[in-house]
Amino acid sequence: MQIGDVRGAGGRVGALSCGPHLRQGRGLAGHTKLGVDQMAKMAITCGVEVDYLPYYTDLLPDLRRKCFSMWSEYFDERSRSKGIWYKTIQPNILRIPWFHESDLTRSDIV
């Protein structure tokens, strides 16, 4: 059966894209049992759905972006009433701290 036939009969067609790091076996739990290519083939030929949870490390970049976005919103809102002077000095939150590549010790910074 072709995709057009399925859609014409009122069926749903879905697609899943797996990045290259998943193909190397580092992104899906249980990848040793079934390869990503085998799962994709099963899904399109048999209609078998295989669900795997990603490793938590695959979700960390999204979490970092969300946290940074929330902190930026809070910073913008809070600096309207408090810390207006600081907002004029540093209008945007930096992605890395100013002391990132310095030779200062923690006691020097704090």
Q: Quick check: is 77 in a domain?
A: yes
The β-bridge partners of 22 are none
* 61 and 81 co-located in one domain: yes
The β-bridge partners of 54 are 28
**Rounded CA separation 64/6 (Å):** 40
**Rounded CA separation 45/3 (Å):** 11
- pLDDT on residue 23: 45
Q: Which two tokens stand for residue 40?
A: 């994709």
What mean pLDDT do residues 51-69 have?
A: 88
Mean pLDDT score across all residues of the chain: 74
User: Is residue 64 pLDDT above 70, yes or no?
Assistant: yes
Q: Which two tokens stand for residue 48?
A: 């078998």
Domain extent for 76 = 56-109
**Rounded CA separation 21/11 (Å):** 31
The tally of domains found in the chain comes to 2
Confidence of residue 5 (pLDDT cuts 50, 70, 90): low
* 60 and 105 co-located in one domain: yes
Q: Quick check: is 51 in a domain?
A: no
